[in-house]
Chains A and B, each alone.
Chain A
């Protein structure tokens, strides 16, 4: 049973560049979530998918951010024109609805540093 995986684990980029992160959920999980965690804070909800449909987006998700989950499997999170304030850990989680609707299983995260 493989858990949630994320790639890359670390990304360093220059301000203004675009970056894309990938998340592979637990295989049978139909829900996928993205969170962002900054230093000294807990994870903050960004968006989630039920299968391939993106059902909710936080106001934290500016129009520079876009997430997709084609075919309801892996997901990508793209940040365009990165800013230094985007530096954070980006966490992906998945869950199986409705059997364990509140228990989300997290991946190791992608740490983004914007110089």
Chain B
């Protein structure tokens, strides 16, 4: 059972514009959410996170929004840069050890 879903397998965006990645979850017990970025031949690298007690967290060009009532979170990247081209995974946790991941969204930033 897929508790974390990323329904868009790919996203293409022009350099300098905003990238918006979406993630839905079904488990209301999740209390912490993370975004990871993955380049080919590398492991996922942590990008940004948000606790369920917040609705927004910002770190430089990256902002994560959480809508608990809709069980939805999104990652905004502004402005998008060519180095942002990667696979982005949404992950969630209800305890302090197990992360449940979505299937990922491949972002391509066009020059």
Contact = CB atoms under 8 A, between A and B. Distances in A.
Interface in A79-115: 91, 93, 97-98, 101-109
A108 B49 contact: no
Interface residues of B, number: 24
Contact of B91 (A42, A56, A101): A42
B89 to A, nearest CB: 5
B101 A43 contact: yes
B97 A106 contact: no
Interface in A26-53: 31, 33, 35, 40-45, 48
Interface residues of A, number: 26
Given A43-B99, A45-B100, A56-B98, A106 B43 contact: yes
13 contacts: A35-B99, A41-B101, A42-B89, A43-B99, A43-B101, A48-B97, A48-B98, A55-B97, A93-B43, A101-B96, A102-B99, A105-B45, A108-B41
